[in-house]
Amino acid sequence: MKTSSGICKCCIVGKHPEHKFDQGKEIRAKTILGMIHSDVKGPIPTKYNIFSWYVLTFIDDFSIYTWVFFLKKQYDVLERFIEFKASIENSSGRKIKYLIYDKVG
């Protein structure tokens, strides 16, 4: 068995420094209602909720506060959003600046 005075390749790879994620490049809300994320999931199996087929969520990016609504039909999303927007803007005194919507499966 031969040894060398140099550093082996495995030691170099094992001691490789971590690459840090860039901080501050992602867009984040700076105030409540600055950015709202919304998803709809469904149809969900009837054994869990016999009256609703879809789940709609609104998440405030700043506070991570989450609102959950159960829907019978997928096309009720717009109607529920209009109700949610009016309710939350009236109660907080602020306006929703951005809405990010993602329809999931």
pLDDT of residue 98: 93
Q: Which amino acid is at 74?
A: Q
| Residue 89: count of CB within 10 angstroms of its CB | 13
pLDDT of residue 19: 61
* Domains of the chain from N-terminus onward: 23-104 (3.30.420.10)
Q: Which residues pair with 82 in a beta bridge?
A: none
pLDDT of residue 104: 59
pLDDT tens digits for 65-79?
999 998 888 889 999
Q: Which residues pair with 102 in a beta bridge?
A: 39
Please determine, for residue 15, whether its predicted confidence score (pLDDT) is greater than 90. no
pLDDT tens digits for 26-64?
678 889 999 999 999 888 776 655 677 888 999 999 999
